């Protein structure tokens, strides 16, 4: 169960879902899209995407595909959303993960792993965006543009593109013009082409989804683990070692635009972990650290080669996890970045002074 614990901690500690589509917005209501050359402006489209979860209920089937070298892996998910910020993800295929269930009510998230017959409970991973200035800053930083319009599963969408940033990866989103919901997304690198895609094969809006659908019930006989952050947020990274009781390492360099946002200390029984969260106002990366004596490095995921050793990489569709050992610590980097970008962060930690 040690492997499961580390994956679960990393996946549920202070992380943001891949796209703005999972972000609730405080103080941002629906507004008409500002049209330029018969197309809406990029910042107006982004604001509509961010506002959508507070305004729209939906249920649909989503297919997520990740390309890893010569392999292509596909996951099918039944996704349900109820305003203002509750989410249910039921994994249908492949058979190895069929039955995995994630329920997030905006405050608490539960993840059931049928292969382990275990449940992890932790803080919600759907963070709220409360400042329109943050949205505009993200649009400017990534050079967001509206490329055109296109039909997706019979619905009119606007194609929103973000220029290559971390590890040379560009992103495109097909945004439903009527609702602001992202119906399709993809990541593309100059070297490998499309490396990640997610799209709805069907979607239904304005459903009266029962509240009970978003109430998680512990399966009979399942083991339950709880992970919560202890204490107040830590605004100064130099304070993290004092709160955690061990040396906490920080990366010498970060991807473009990323800055330290806050840290926390997470406790699970005798296990104490320091988490440092970095953000570029659009997405978030969290670095998880705990002494090697407290937890074994899990063998889950694909082996990746780093400058000074090897690690394990898991692509969970909505976010990615890179795990490795460094200077007597078990490390995990969690976020929406591609494997190459997470590996660059890991190597920046390797060469940094403690």
Shared-domain flag, residues 200 and 343: no
**Would you say residue 327 has pLDDT above 80?**
no
pTM of the model: 0.69
Across 32-36, 40-44, 61-65, 281-285, least confident range: 32-36
Domain count, the chain: 2
Q: Exposed, middle or buried by CB within 10 Å (0-12, 13-18, 19+), for 63?
A: middle
Do 238 and 198 share a structural domain?
no
279-280-285-286 Cα dihedral, nearest 10 degrees? -10
146 and 240 within one domain: no
Measured between alpha carbons, how far is 110 from 310 in angstroms, rounded to an integer?
30
d(CA 119, CA 108): 13
- The residue assigned the tokens 């993840």 is 111
According to the model, what pLDDT value does residue 23 have? Answer: 31
Asked if 209 and 80 count as a contact pair (C-beta separation under 8 A), the reply is yes
- Across-strand partners of 331? 289, 324
Same structural domain, 259 and 316: yes
Alpha carbon 126 to chain centroid, angstroms = 9
Q: Does 69 share its domain with 190?
A: yes
For 134-158, what is the mean pLDDT? 82
**pLDDT value, residue 15:** 28
pLDDT at 297 over 70: no
- State the DSSP string of 211-258: GGGGS--PPTT-EEEE-EEEEEEE--GGGHHHHHTS-----S--STT-
137 lies in the same domain as 174: yes
Residue 101 has pLDDT above 70, yes or no: yes
Find the length of the chain: 354
On whether residue 126 sits in a domain, the answer given is: yes
Q: What integer pLDDT is reported at residue 66 of this predicted model? A: 79
**Do 244 and 345 share a domain, yes or no?**
yes
Structural domain containing residue 145: 2-205
Residue 221 lies in a domain: no
Is the pLDDT at 138 greater than 50, yes or no?
A: yes
Q: Are residues 178 and 253 in the same domain?
A: no
Residue 211 lies in a domain: no
**283 and 193 within one domain:** no
Gap between the Cα atoms of 304 and 307, Å rounded = 10
Comparing 292 with 175, the larger pLDDT belongs to 175
Q: Residue 224 domain-assigned?
A: no
Q: Give the single-character DSSP code of 32.
A: P
The pLDDT of residue 34: 55
Beta strands 58-68 and 86-93: pairing type?
unpaired
User: What are the tokens at 199?
Assistant: 């799209």
Rounded to 5°, the CA angle 300-304-310 comes to 90
Q: pLDDT confidence of 63, banded at 50, 70, 90?
A: very high
- Tell me, yes or no, whether 215 lies in a domain: no
Long-range Cβ pairs for the range 70-78 (8 Å, 24+): 73/315, 75/317, 77/317
CATH of the domain at 92: 2.50.20.10
Contact yes or no for 154/133 (Cβ under 8 A): no
Contact between 80 and 88 under an 8 Å Cβ cutoff? The reply is yes
Burial degree of 4 (CB within 10 A; 0-12, 13-18, 19+): middle
What is the C-alpha separation between 163 and 288, in angstroms, rounded? Answer: 29
Q: Is the pLDDT of residue 223 over 70?
A: yes
The rounded distance, in Å, linking the Cα atoms of 312 and 316 is 13
CATH assignment at residue 312: 3.30.200.100
| Residue 223 is assigned to a structural domain of this protein | no
- Identify whether residues 198 and 275 lie together within a single domain: no
Looking at 189, 205, 221, the residue that finishes a domain is: 205
Residue 139 has what pLDDT? 67
> Do 176 and 290 belong to one domain?
no
Residues 6+ apart with CB under 8 A from 29: 51
pLDDT tens, position by position, 225-278? 766 555 578 888 888 888 888 888 888 777 766 788 888 887 766 778 888 888
Q: CB–CB of 230/266 below 8 Å?
A: yes
At 298, the pLDDT band (50, 70, 90 cuts) reads low
Q: Is residue 220 part of a domain?
A: no
Both 130 and 164 in a single domain? yes
In a domain, 216, yes or no: no
Backbone angles phi, psi at 243, to 5 degrees: -75, -35
């Amino acid at each position: 169960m040690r492997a499961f614990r580390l994956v679960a901690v990393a996946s549920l500690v202070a992380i943001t879902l891949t796209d703005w589509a999972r972000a609730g917005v405080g103080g941002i209501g629906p507004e008409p899209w500002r049209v330029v050359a018969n197309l809406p402006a990029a910042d107006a489209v982004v604001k509509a995407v961010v506002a959508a979860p507070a305004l729209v209920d939906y249920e649909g089937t989503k297919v997520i595909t990740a390309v890893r070298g010569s392999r292509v892996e596909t996951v099918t998910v039944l996704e349900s959303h109820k305003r203002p910020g509750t989410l249910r993800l039921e994994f249908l295929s492949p058979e190895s993960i069929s039955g995995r269930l994630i329920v997030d009510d905006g405050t608490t998230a539960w993840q059931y792993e049928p292969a382990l017959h275990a449940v992890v409970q932790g803080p919600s991973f759907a963070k709220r965006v409360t400042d329109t200035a943050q949205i505009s800053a993200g649009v400017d930083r990534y050079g967001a543009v509206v490329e055109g319009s296109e039909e997706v599963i019979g619905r009119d969408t606007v194609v929103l593109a973000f220029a290559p940033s971390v590890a040379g990866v560009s992103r495109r989103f097909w945004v439903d013009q009527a609702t602001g919901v992202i119906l399709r997304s993809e990541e593309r690198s100059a070297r490998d082409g499309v490396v990640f895609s997610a799209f709805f094969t069907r979607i239904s809006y304005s459903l009266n989804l029962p509240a009970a659908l978003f109430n998680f019930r512990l399966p009979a006989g399942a083991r339950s683990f709880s992970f919560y952050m202890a204490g107040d947020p830590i605004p100064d990274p130099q304070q993290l070692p004092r709160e955690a009781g061990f040396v906490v390492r920080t990366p010498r360099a970060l991807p473009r635009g990323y800055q330290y946002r806050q840290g926390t200390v997470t406790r699970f029984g005798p296990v104490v972990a320091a988490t440092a969260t970095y953000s570029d106002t659009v997405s978030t990366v969290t670095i998880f650290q705990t002494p090697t004596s407290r937890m074994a490095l899990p063998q889950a995921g694909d082996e990746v080669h780093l400058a000074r050793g090897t690690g394990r990489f898991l692509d969970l569709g909505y976010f990615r996890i890179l795990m490795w050992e460094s200077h007597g610590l078990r490390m995990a980097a969690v976020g929406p970045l591609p494997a190459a970008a997470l590996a660059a962060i890991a190597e920046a930690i390797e060469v940094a002074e403690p």
